[in-house]
Structure 1
């Protein structure tokens, strides 16, 4: 017998508008959406009054580094991987995320390649175990972040060939003097501030990184792109800064421009049909911590398609409500940045919008209005996640 339920009396965040209405869920799929009066439930006669709260499509998160922070919560510490996955899963689902691409990094520039490979595999195996045991609230995939300037990145990528959850790979190069760290002093601030180097160690370290990158960056980028295409893995380019960078990534079949550092690169990405991803913390902070282009500047120019949480799981939903409060973007357009557009970018066409036939991945949100203050003169709306459904089942 079919399982049916109705979520009624809600402000539905649809693709083109926000309307008062109800959603009928049948066997994990949205069966009907109706504005105005309540839907009639079939045989089950089950339902829930959402008391006028927003009902949004579940968020699709393409880039979060947060799981690694649960595995290694402090330098020199190591948490059991499956409990770490569950803690991370609870945090992202509590932020309205129903599909998450957990980032694992491969490629080490400091000679510890084995450590990065082992950690990536450990994380991937823990995700697979927790998912198979039906322990997770969100659906988890893996995003492999490939440091192409490192000597052994290609072999490390190949070592993950048997990991079925790998659905996205990003080509990144953090060599100082270009891309994210075009300003070398910003790289100094990060490395010294993190306690990884002293000021005296910094310049010799930078010189060594540049020498290694000159040998490995170009061939590694091309080979990983080839291997990803063979496996049907979506490709992203990380931190493109110039038209030449974008031309190179487009030549590899890259369809996602992740965190372009300049407006020039973002414009080139748009012209080549790439979807542009920026970090939601960039929106919340009012700019890039590395001094690169601001996400709001790209949004105003029509050069922003997707927001990711990067290092703050709650930031995408918060950014969407902040943009609405500031009059920058209506809520239904903001929802595209965190649900339908990221789903489309990685070929997950069964989710991301509230419409009949899509997966019933949904999040109930109540907006709380905070008073205006000097930083937020128009006030601030804080989203409070009150419930999350994945394929029609309440998970949070």
Structure 2
């Protein structure tokens, strides 16, 4: 990890600025901020050719693409690093450090770790374990990227509702998503689908999931909506971004947005996504959905939602590498728009106005990407420090 004691110049590559891509562009970093973004034809006093030896740090980005550091509002892979195999549990700090390094390799410099606050043995989840992960994020020991907490609340579970309600004033918690995973709701069309998908088809775990499905199905719709309204109001008072999750019914979107939800993540139907957009809420889809070319379970196709103009941002969901790969999926849009969907737009929605853009004054988070044959991060800079290097 290099210290930002001298200016850093990243030059020679395609620099993706907010207004478009600059061929053979250059980014100049001073301290933890971007000082200049220039095209090949716009040389100023910051020209690195005039600097003497040792006066500047340099990264040669020739043949590569320079992007703002990616901002991921929902990535839950840290839970899998905590339990690499059933029965093996890694301590929270180690799991988070693993997630941190792999996030940088995937181009993510601001990470909202999605942590489920629910007691669900079939998913290796517990409120106690979630709290340990939250504390590890808050401590920030041995972390390089900027980590924050995206707390996931299962509103059919009173214990989850109570636990998340107590998190409202925790500084590390920036996002809370409200979800009702139950048979007949959202992506789970029936009890069989819930048991199979929620436990990933694992024998005994599937039996536990089936039991959970029966319990959750018994929670009345009125109770679910009452809990959503109460949590959204309480969390909103603490400036926590509140998201709804897996909405299929436009009426559910109306209810959520009407009570303070500002982000609709992973809508199951186009009608739900369109309603969120009409109501002024941001809409997030999964990057794996776009990269794969469709939903894993036959839900709303991310490309179709983009074509309909109802996707503001993408999240890595469960596959960090997909966020970077999504930038290079040709959606018929300019490169700068595709980049914005994983940088400036999630930063804006999360209230982080200091990052996600390559422009003077912005926080100096950026990545250098070799686009062929597979988009690969070769350099990563966080707050002006070069923190990751792969290859020559």
Q: 2:94 aligns with which of 83, 101, 113?
A: 83
The alpha-carbon distance between structure 1 residues 111 and 300, as it changes in their structure 2 partners (threshold 3 A), is closer
Structure 2 SS opposite 1:7: strand
Q: For residue 192 of structure 1, report the CA deviation from its aligned partner.
A: 6.7
The normalised TM-score by structure 2 is 0.89
Instruction: Measure how far apart 1:197 and its partner are.
Output: 4.9
Q: Which residue of 2 aligns with 1:391?
A: 383
Gaps of 5+ in 2: none
Rounded to whole Å, the distance in 1 between the matches of 2:295 and 2:88 is: 29
User: Aligned equivalents of 2:76 and 2:200: distance in 1?
Assistant: 21
Structure 1's unaligned 5+ residue stretches are: 370-381
Q: Are the structure 2 counterparts of residues 348 and 112 from structure 1 closer, same or farther at C-alpha, using a change threshold of 3 Å?
A: closer
Q: Please say if 1:195 is aligned against 2:203.
A: yes
1:59–1:82 CA distance, 2 compared to 1 (3 A):
same
Local SS of the residue matching 1:18: strand
Following the alignment from structure 2 to structure 1, what is the Cα–Cα distance between the partners of residues 266 and 256?
13
Q: 1:288 aligns with which of 290, 295, 310?
A: 295
Pairing partner for 2:137 from 121, 127, 132: 127
Deviation at 1:26, TM superposition (A): 0.8
Q: How does 1:38-57 map to 2 (within 5 A)?
A: 39-41=46-48, 44-57=55-68
**For the aligned residues, what is the CA RMSD?**
2.4
Q: Write out per-residue CA displacement over residues 210-250 of structure 1, whole angstroms, 9 at most, x where no aligned residue.
A: 11355742232122112211211011110111111111111
Give CA deviations for 1:128-157 in whole Å, capped at 9, x if unaligned: 22x2x4x21210000001100102223211
- Cα deviation for residue 109 of structure 1 reads 6.6
Q: Please point out which of 33, 51, 55 is paired with 1:29.
A: 33
Partner residue in 1 for 2:173:
166
Equivalent position of 1:378 in the other structure: none
- Distance in structure 2 (CA, Å) of the matches to 1:202 and 1:79: 23
Residues 330-371 of structure 1: CA distance to partner in whole angstroms, max 9, x if unpaired?
Answer: 3211101100110001100000111111011000001114xx
**Residue equivalent to 1:356:** 360
Residue 118 (structure 1) aligned with residue 110 (structure 2): no
User: 2:350 matched to 1:342?
Assistant: no
Larger CA deviation: 344-353 vs 9-18:
9-18
| 258-267 vs 76-85, greater mean Cα deviation | 76-85
Of 201, 212, 225, 2:232 maps to 225
Question: Which of structure 1's runs of 4+ aligned residues deviate more than 4 A?
Answer: 109-113, 196-199, 201-205, 213-216
**What are the Cα deviations for residues 1-43 of structure 1, in whole angstroms up to 9, with x where unaligned?**
9731211112101112111211111111011111015642478
User: Which moved further from structure 2: 48-57 or 360-369?
Assistant: 48-57
| Inter-partner Cα distance in structure 1 for 2:168 and 2:283 | 27
Change in CA separation of 1:32 and 1:198 when aligned onto 2, cut-off 3 Å: closer
Distance 1:181 1:66, change over 3 A: same
Q: What TM-score results when the alignment is normalised by the length of structure 1?
A: 0.88
Distance in 2, matches of 1:102 and 1:60, equals 11
